Copies of this chain bind each other. A is one copy, B any other.
Amino acid sequence: MTETAPAPAPPALTAAHRELLDQVLDKWSLQVLDSLCEQPQRFNELRRSVPAVTQKSLTATLRRLERNGMVERLVVRSRPVAVEYRITALGTTLQDLVDALLRWTADTLPDVEHARSRYDAEVLDDAGPRA
């Protein structure tokens, strides 16, 4: 499947690559990116867009994404200050990836759930080592 692209030699999985994926595909990043993709938002707007996130985690996530060039932080010197976050060009390239990821999960989740049921039924039933 997908013979359309010649697949130009997938590069090796170095520590630097893994680190980047970790920083960018982590628990909250996907949701934040996803939300910022639709429209730029302020800090507290984002908190509401991503319901379960705490201030601390949201701040950490935004800083990490900012550091990696995925989002941009714009301070409007009003009173009180307003801070707007928006996705960068680099961030949108990531969004395409995330969409692919999401489509994959949507496609395979039924199969995965089936596999899980089988596993849970035949493995978790009998205890003890599996050799």
A 1-27 to B, binary, CB cutoff 8 A, 1 in contact else 0: 110100110111100111011100101
Q: Is the CB of A11 within 8 A of B75?
A: no
Q: How far is the CB of A29 from chain B (nearest CB, A)?
A: 11
Interface size on A, residues (CB 8 A): 55
Q: How far is the CB of A91 from chain B (nearest CB, A)?
A: 10
Q: Which residue of B lies closest to A59 (CB)?
A: B130
CA distance A66 to B103 in the complex (A): 21
Show the binding face of A for B, using Cβ within 8 Å: 1-2, 4, 7-8, 10-13, 16-18, 20-22, 25, 27, 30-31, 34, 66-69, 73, 75, 81, 83, 90, 93-94, 96-109, 111-112, 114-116, 119-120, 123, 130-131
